A = this chain, B = another copy of it.
Amino acid sequence: MSILPALKHKRNVEVIVLAADLAGTFIFAIQGAEAAIRGELDLLGVMVVSFAAALGGGVIRDLLIGATPPNAIRDWRYPALSFAAGLLTFIFHASLHGLDSPLLVALDAAGLSLFAVAGVEKATLFGIGPFVAALMGTITGVGGGVIRDILMARVPAVLQVDIYASAAFVGAVVVLVLRRAGLPSTAAAFAGGVACFALRMVAVSRGWHLPKASGW
């Protein structure tokens, strides 16, 4: 009897991870495809980069927490979704020019939030302690972008953009704190995602910066 709520809780978390992961995959695949098109890669290059950008973060997380084979490999929906998003972007990218930049920033922040939440939830599910679980949320959120930039032979944007990985880390911490405080997993996940999204958007609009070391 007493195991039923626990089971239901686990079910909930798994659904949250799946939904957040798939939505984030779609957003980051589009972003990766755009970066590849701007880098003048051909159709194949666009597909590869959108695949890596969308699934890289989750794959690194799954390898690190020992969840092998990673979801991106075990579940055909992940690669299929990333390729579909890459192909759609390739075909319709001209129309994307019309999109204004604030919308793109918001989409990116949404992908980051989704992945940060999915990452911290899944790490917790695999028995990882809170500090490292928050790191796993961060890595899930920024890992794909890092691989995308490495493939394009650039210094990863996340190392230079202000309040990006930090927003993912804060969102993951919010999830963990609210869960510890007794909130249902769905509510905690939602609040964490909103915290990450809001922090990222405010940081962009106000031009917040992290300090640099002086004197060099």
A residues neighboring B (CB under 8 Å): 36-46, 48-49, 59, 63-66, 68-70, 73-74, 76, 79-80, 90, 93-94, 97, 126, 128-129, 131-132, 135-136, 146, 150-156, 158-160, 162-166, 209-216
Question: Which of chain B's residues have a CB closer than 8 A to the CB of A151?
Answer: 146, 150, 155-156, 159
Nearest CB on B from A87, distance (A): 11
Question: Which of chain B's residues have a CB closer than 8 A to the CB of A158?
Answer: 44-45, 48
Other-chain contact of A73, B44, B76, B132 (Cβ < 8 Å): B132
Chain A to chain B contacts (Cβ below 8 Å), 18 pairs? A40-B216, A41-B160, A42-B209, A42-B211, A43-B210, A44-B158, A44-B165, A44-B166, A45-B158, A48-B159, A48-B165, A74-B128, A74-B132, A90-B213, A93-B215, A94-B213, A150-B151, A151-B155
Kindly state the separation between the CA atoms of A210 and B46 in the bound complex, as whole angstroms: 11
Question: Which of chain B's residues have a CB closer than 8 A to the CB of A153?
Answer: 150, 153-155
Nearest chain B residue, comparing its CB with the CB of A159: B45
Question: Contact at B214–A94, with CB atoms within 8 Å?
Answer: yes
User: Known: A73-B128, A212-B41. Contact between A36 and B80, CB under 8 A?
Assistant: no
Question: Contact at B66–A69, with CB atoms within 8 Å?
Answer: yes
Question: Which of chain B's residues have a CB closer than 8 A to the CB of A79?
Answer: 131-132, 135
Kindly state the separation between the CA atoms of A76 and B48 in the bound complex, as whole angstroms: 31
Kindly state the separation between the CA atoms of A131 and B90 in the bound complex, as whole angstroms: 21
Nearest chain B residue, comparing its CB with the CB of A76: B131
Kindly state the separation between the CA atoms of A160 and B44 in the bound complex, as whole angstroms: 8
Kindly state the separation between the CA atoms of A128 and B70 in the bound complex, as whole angstroms: 11
